[in-house]
Amino acid sequence: MKFLEESLIALDVDIDTPEGAIRETGKLLSASHLVEESYVDAMVKSFNENGPYFVLAPNIALPHARPEDGVHEAAVSFVRLKNPVKFGHASNDPVQLVFGLGASSSDEHLTVLQRLMGLLGNPDNVEKLLHVKTHEEINQMIGGN
Amino acid sequence: MKILCVCGLGQGTSLILRINVETVLRQLGVQADVENTDVSSASSENPDLIVTSNELAQSLEGHASKIVIVNNYFDTNEIKTALEEHFNN
C-alpha cells in the first residue's frame, strides 16, 4: 500500500482540463509502477462514460478505474491544481484537490479508502491541503506512512 | 431493508459512501443490509433504497427503488439528514 508518499504528490500543477488533471494523478501512480498505463487511460474513459460523479465533495475529486484495468498495488496519489478546474459537477465544482486512486482488489483497497476518509472527513484538513507547501506537512497530517 | 450505494464503477466512490452510510445507520439505530455496486448493475437490482450522487441519479431515473441523493460523500451530517428525511416519510 502506498498512501500519499512523496513521489505520489505534485503541488500547484498548471493544468486546466479535467482530463489533464486525471492523467496527472494517474501518471504519478504509473511512474511509481503502482498501476499500468492502461489504468490511466481507463480512469479517463470512466470520466468520459460516467461523468464527474467522483467529485466527492466540494473541491475534491477521486478519479479511478477498476482493479482489472491494471493495478499492481493499492495506492493514492495527490495533485493540487494551481487553479481550480470545473469538472462539470453540479454542486462540488470547481476542483483543486485531485486524488488518484489505484483501486486494488486486495484488502488494502479498503484500508487506503479508510485512510483517505480519515484525512478528508475533517474539513480542517481539506483547508490545510489547499495551502501546504511540502510533503512533510502532508505527512504530519496523515501520521506518517 | 436493503440499501444499495451506487457509483460509476462500483469500486471506490460507492465503497466510501457505503462506509459512511453504515456509520450513519448505526447512529440512527437502523438495521439494514448495505451493499455497493456500479450504476449498470444497479439497474437490475431491487433494493429498498439507492444512495448515490445527483449525476448518477439521473441515469437511474425510472428505477423502482427510492433514490436518496448525497452531494458531499465525506459529510456524514448531510448523509444523516438525507436518510432521516427518507425514513420519516
Are the Cβ atoms of A64 and B53 closer than 8 angstroms?
no
Would you list the domain boundaries of chain B? 8-34+50-84
Is there a contact between A28 and A3 (Cβ–Cβ < 8 Å)?
A: no
Task: Please report which confidence band the pLDDT of residue B46 belongs to, taking 50, 70 and 90 as the band edges.
Answer: very high
Q: Write out the three cell numbers for A130.
A: 489547499
Say what the pLDDT of residue B52 is: 95
3-state secondary structure A106-118: CCHHHHHHHHHHH
Structure confidence at residue A144 (pLDDT)? 57
Q: What is the pLDDT of residues B14-36, one digit of tens each?
A: 999 999 999 999 999 999 999 99
| Residues of chain A scoring pLDDT < 70 | 144-145
Residue B45's identity, in one-letter code, is E
Q: What is the pTM of this model?
A: 0.94
Asked if A35 contacts A75 with a C-beta cutoff of 8 angstroms, the reply is yes
Determine the pLDDT at residue A16: 96
Say what the ipTM of the complex is.
0.88
Residue-range definition of the domain harbouring residue A117: 2-139
Q: Do B13 and A58 touch (CB under 8 A)?
A: no
Contacts of B9 in chain A (CB under 8 A): 46, 50, 64-66, 103
Angle between helices B13-28 and B76-88 (to 10 degrees): 60
- A94 interface with B at CB cutoff 8 Å: no
**DSSP one-letter string for A59-95:** TEE--B--GGGTBSS-EEEEEEEEEEE----TTT-SE
pLDDT for residue B89: 76
Asked whether residue B47 carries a pLDDT value surpassing 80, the answer given is yes
Contact by Cβ (8 Å): B80, B23: no
Interface of B with A (CB under 8 A): 7-9, 11-13, 15-16, 19-20, 39, 52-56, 71-76
Mutate to test the interface with B, among A25, A54, A99 (most CBs of B within 10 A): A54
A145 found inside a domain: no
Question: Rounded to whole angstroms, how far apart are CA atoms A15 and A21?
Answer: 6
Q: Is A33 labeled as catalytic in the residue annotation?
A: no
SS3 state at B89: coil
For residue A42, give the CATH number of its domain.
3.40.930.10
CA–centroid distance for A33 within its chain: 16
* Chain B nearest C-alpha distance from A33 (Å): 20
Number of domains in chain A: 1
Residues paired with A80 in a beta bridge? A97
